[in-house]
Amino acid sequence: MVATLAALAVSALWYGPVFGRARLEEVGPGKLGIRRSPARTAALSAVLLFVTSAMMGHMFARVGQATLDVKWWLYFMMSGGLAIAFVIPSLWISYSQQRISTRLALIDGGFWLVAYLTMGLAFLVV
């Protein structure tokens, strides 16, 4: 739960004050469309981030606490690795097929990297 909440906080910052205006320029009126229900989007995001963080927790449990205690950097290496090797390439492939701008792909890809690293941090400190 802590990892999910941490990723949601990153999302609020990333798509709010940090890159909100830049993203709006890419997806604003006449582009990708308008979100109909921010509450529904937030709820769906929370559920899907929980699934992600639960799987990440399972992955860390399989490595074992004794190993993670000695090699704490594995939290970042593994969570960041998931983002860099799986999530971001999948996103980029989808975006290139849909002809979505490189700028938006960088904003969204950056979010996923920071969100996954934040989830790794949450597992480290909790």
- Measured CA to CA, the distance from residue 58 to residue 20 in angstroms comes to 32
Chain center to CA of 13: 12
Tens digits of residue pLDDT in 3-44: 999 999 999 999 999 998 898 888 876 656 556 687 898 899
As a whole number, mean pLDDT of residues 88-117 equals 95
Tens digits of residue pLDDT in 64-82: 999 999 999 999 999 999 9
Q: Which two tokens stand for residue 18?
A: 């940090």
What residue type is 76 in one-letter code?
A: F
Q: What is the pLDDT of residue 88?
A: 97
As a whole number, mean pLDDT of residues 108-117 equals 97
